[in-house]
């Protein structure tokens, strides 16, 4: 199969009225609530144990989902195990073709898929559109990568010996996904596992079962056999039951650090009779810092930092949550940032004018408000403009200053529209503070001095460092994404090495001296 080189799916130009009209028409046609089954092979069990609602208008039910029991988790793994041999033996090019057809299925429905992400997770339109594009990108990128990987890797050959290395799929992969990229992240992990010949049980986040259903529909419509991809909606208990099943060979997880660490412990506990070590691919949270040096161009830095901290209400794992500003420009920076925050429009996700949508659920709203309160007690806060009275899970954007070094606001991942500003005497002091953190996901630097840039690049522990731009918006193939330290297992989604985590290398060495080669 010869394919065009990979290119990112272009996002919509939402400044064009026609593009916006396509999306609003799709929204009008969206029939809710969706019914999301436990879907194992051709068996569907519908239920209403899980209710997913619209964070912008919580009385609107987006999806009614069954919640998988431990028995269903077991049945899903058993079905995936039974289908493994057939899917693993399917040529890589055929598996890739199924993924490419799934990408085409999503492309045809991209406005409707974006509308669903707006409703279910309060992604504003540009973010929702980018989420669909990223899901398509993962399918296209991993399809190509799996074909390349199927060729194996070259080895040193010497006379009288033939050496071959090929990559075999590992078995059943449990994919456990978060809600904040409700299409892209579950699709990315699932597509990587399937492309390399594994079978998958997908447990979408409890806040986004409707999007999880669309992921599985796309793959099955593309021709992935029913046995090779199961849908297991449910909460953390369903995820735990799935991950602890002894026949799960790989756990691909994206979510919070606490759950990721629990899954690493689960995997390390080898069940009696287990025939394989469970591998964990874990992408977790961070505490992302941006350094602003005294020579930074504030016309560039302020909008980029606003985008990094407040787009999607700060609910991206890559979102900026601390800015470390050189003391020489601190006051000017803080004043301009406060002005920019005051101009942010807080509102429903389906309003094209919205900058900051509501957070995903009531608990998230309470958590963000708790940290905002703490910031006000320990330091000083400047707040943006609150949302017009509405029932959604809105949080007013907050900028905090003057916090003590041991403040929880500077340590914890808050995952909301709250940004802390700190003063530093030098870029090196900023680097020291960043180096003291146990997490290392993304980071940013604004500086006009190439030597400063080099120094920070050399010292920065983060998985993705962004220089003179926003810290969010990693693109498949361009910015392979993932954290270091306690932020993740060091895998890079959307990068060339990612597929290696879903395979095991096998080497065959044949002595050809005595017999020669019979061809
Ligand atoms: N590094 C990355 O690439 C990346 C990307 C997106 C989100 N994140 C992180 O994800 C978090 C937000 O997502 P979230 O709130 O959905 O995270 P979460 O950890 O609460 O949930 C993630 C998934 O794990 C499941 N789960 C919960 N408890 C479980 C258990 N005991 N066993 C197995 N599964 C369990 C959930 O049901 C959900 O499907 C943030 O910390 C964010 O930084 C990281």
Of 72, 127, 134, 283, the active-site residue reads: 283
Quick one: pLDDT band at residue 272, thresholds 50, 70, 90? Answer: confident
Specify the residue with its C-alpha closest to ligand 1, atom 32: 240
- pLDDT of residue 121 exceeding 70, the answer is yes
- In sequence order, the 6+-apart residues with CB closer than 8 A to the CB of 398 are 372, 375, 381, 382, 383, 384, 417, 418, 419
- pLDDT of residue 388 exceeding 90, the answer is no
Would you call 59 helix, strand, or coil by DSSP?
A: strand
| pLDDT tens sequence across 192-224 | 999 999 999 999 999 999 999 999 999 999 999
CA of 46 to the centre of ligand 1 (A): 24
Average pLDDT of the chain is 97
Residue from 36, 233, 259 to probe ligand 1 pocket by mutation (most atoms less than 8 Å from CB): 259
CA of 397 to the centre of ligand 1 (A): 23
Radius of gyration of the chain (CA): 24
CA of 285 to the centre of ligand 1 (A): 9
What single DSSP character describes residue 308?
Answer: H
What's the rounded Cα separation, in Å, for the pair 279 and 160? Answer: 36
Of 173, 317, 395, 431, the active-site residue reads: 317
Specify the residue with its C-alpha closest to ligand 1, atom 29: 236
Q: Which atom of ligand 1 is nearest to the CA of 234?
A: 37
- In sequence order, the 6+-apart residues with CB closer than 8 A to the CB of 475 are 8, 134, 137, 494
CA of 317 to the centre of ligand 1 (A): 10
Give the side-chain half-sphere CA count within 13 A for 58. Answer: 14
What's the rounded Cα separation, in Å, for the pair 175 and 212? Answer: 11
Q: Which helix (H) or strand (E) holds 430?
A: helix 427-435
Environment class of residue 509 by beta-carbon count within 10 Å: exposed (0-12), middle (13-18) or buried (19+)?
Answer: exposed
Pocket of ligand 1 (CB under 6 A): 176-181, 185, 203, 205-206, 235-236, 239-240, 243, 254-256, 259, 262-263, 283-285, 317, 413, 415, 441, 481-483, 488
What's the rounded Cα separation, in Å, for the pair 430 and 452? Answer: 12
Which pLDDT score is estimated for 514?
A: 72
**Annotated catalytic residue 283:** yes
CB 120 within 8 A of CB 210: yes
| pLDDT tens sequence across 275-332 | 899 999 999 999 999 999 999 999 999 999 999 999 999 999 999 999 999 999 999 9
What's the rounded Cα separation, in Å, for the pair 29 and 48? Answer: 23
For the chain, how far is it from start to end, CA to CA, in angstroms?
25
CB 398 within 8 A of CB 418: yes
Q: Which atom of ligand 1 is nearest to the CA of 179?
A: 16
Quick one: pLDDT band at residue 516, thresholds 50, 70, 90? Answer: low
Which pLDDT score is estimated for 271?
A: 82
Would you call 478 helix, strand, or coil by DSSP?
A: coil
Quick one: pLDDT band at residue 517, thresholds 50, 70, 90? Answer: low
Q: Alpha-carbon torsion 227, 233, 238, 240, what sign?
A: positive
CA of 200 to the centre of ligand 1 (A): 18
| pLDDT tens sequence across 421-449 | 999 999 999 999 999 999 999 999 999 99
Strand order in the sheet with 288-292: 380-383, 398-401, 418-424, 320-326, 288-292, 442-446, 464-467
Mean pLDDT within 404-419: 98
Which domains are delineated in the chain?
70-103+131-284+488-506 (3.40.605.10), 288-467 (3.40.309.10)
Quick one: pLDDT band at residue 390, thresholds 50, 70, 90? Answer: confident
**Annotated catalytic residue 317:** yes
Q: Which atom of ligand 1 is nearest to the CA of 257?
A: 41
What's the rounded Cα separation, in Å, for the pair 229 and 219? Answer: 8
Which pLDDT score is estimated for 15?
A: 97
Question: What token pair was written down for 3?
Answer: 């394919």
Which pLDDT score is estimated for 279?
A: 98
Query: How many CB atoms sit inside 10 A of residue 376's CB?
Result: 14
CA of 377 to the centre of ligand 1 (A): 29
Specify the residue with its C-alpha closest to ligand 1, atom 44: 284
Q: Which atom of ligand 1 is nearest to the CA of 178?
A: 16
Specify the residue with its C-alpha closest to ligand 1, atom 34: 239
How far from 441 is each of 211, 252, 396, 431, 487, CA to CA, in Å?
25, 17, 25, 14, 6
Q: Which atom of ligand 1 is nearest to the CA of 262?
A: 31
CA of 258 to the centre of ligand 1 (A): 8
Q: Where are the beta strands (DSSP E) in 43-190?
A: 43-45, 50-54, 57-65, 161-169, 172-176
Which pLDDT score is estimated for 518?
A: 62
Which pLDDT score is estimated for 274?
A: 84
Specify the residue with its C-alpha closest to ligand 1, atom 26: 236
What's the rounded Cα separation, in Å, for the pair 423 and 486? Answer: 25
Q: Which atom of ligand 1 is nearest to the CA of 286?
A: 43
CA of 255 to the centre of ligand 1 (A): 2
Specify the residue with its C-alpha closest to ligand 1, atom 5: 317
| pLDDT tens sequence across 228-269 | 999 999 999 999 999 999 999 999 999 999 999 999 999 999
Longest dimension (CA), the chain: 84
């Amino acid at each position: 199969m010869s394919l065009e080189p990979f290119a990112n799916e272009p996002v919509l130009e939402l400044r064009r009225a026609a593009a916006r009209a396509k999306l609003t028409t799709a929204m009008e046609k969206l029939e809710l609530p969706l019914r999301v089954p436990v879907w194992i092979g051709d068996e569907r069990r519908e239920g209403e144990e899980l209710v997913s609602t619209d964070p912008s208008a919580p009385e609107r039910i987006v999806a009614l989902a069954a919640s998988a029991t431990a028995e269903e988790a077991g049945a899903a793994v058993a079905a995936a195990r039974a289908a493994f041999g057939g899917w693993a033996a399917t040529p890589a090019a055929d598996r890739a073709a199924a993924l490419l057809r799934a990408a085409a299925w999503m492309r045809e429905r991209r406005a409707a898929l974006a509308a669903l992400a707006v409703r279910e997770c309060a992604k504003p339109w540009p973010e929702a559109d980018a989420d669909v594009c990223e899901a398509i990108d993962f399918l296209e990128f991993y399809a190509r990568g799996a074909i390349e990987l199927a060729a194996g890797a070259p080895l040193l050959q010497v006379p009288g010996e033939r050496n071959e290395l090929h990559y075999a799929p590992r078995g059943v992969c449990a994919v456990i996904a978060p809600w904040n990229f409700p299409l892209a992240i579950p699709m990315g992990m699932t597509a990587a596992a399937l492309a390399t010949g594994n079978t998958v049980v997908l447990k979408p986040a409890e806040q986004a079962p409707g999007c999880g259903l669309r992921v599985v529909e796309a793959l099955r419509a593309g021709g992935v056999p029913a046995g090779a991809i199961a849908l297991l909606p449910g909460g953390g208990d369903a995820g735990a039951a799935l991950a602890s099943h002894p026949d799960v060979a790989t756990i691909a997880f994206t979510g919070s650090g606490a759950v990721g660490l629990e899954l690493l412990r689960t995997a390390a506990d080898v069940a009696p009779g287990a025939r394989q070590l469970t591998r964990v691919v874990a992408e977790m949270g961070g505490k992302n810092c941006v350094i602003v040096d005294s020579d930074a161009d504030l016309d560039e830095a302020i909008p980029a930092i606003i985008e990094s901290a407040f787009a999607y209400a700060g609910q991206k794992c890559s979102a900026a949550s601390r800015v470390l500003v050189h003391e020489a420009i601190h006051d000017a920076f803080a004043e301009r940032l406060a002005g920019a925050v005051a101009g942010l429009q807080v509102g429903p996700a389906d309003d094209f004018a919205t900058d900051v949508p509501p957070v995903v659920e009531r608990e998230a709203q309470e958590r963000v408000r708790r940290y905002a309160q703490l910031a006000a007690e320990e330091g000083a806060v400047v707040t943006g403009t609150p949302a017009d009275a509405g029932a959604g899970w809105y949080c007013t954007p907050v900028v905090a200053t003057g916090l003590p070094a041991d403040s929880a606001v500077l340590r914890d991942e808050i995952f909301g529209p709250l940004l802390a500003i700190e003063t530093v005497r030098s870029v090196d002091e900023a680097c020291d503070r960043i180096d003291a953190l146990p997490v290392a996901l993304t980071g940013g630097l604004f500086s006009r001095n190439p030597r400063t840039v080099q120094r920070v690049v050399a010292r920065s522990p983060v998985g993705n460092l962004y220089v003179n731009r926003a810290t969010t918006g990693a693109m498949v193939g361009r910015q392979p994404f993932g954290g270091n330290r306690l932020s993740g297992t060091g895998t890079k989604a959307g990068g060339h090495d990612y597929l290696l985590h879903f395979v095991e290398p096998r080497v065959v060495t044949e002595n050809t001296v005595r017999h020669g080669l019979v061809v």
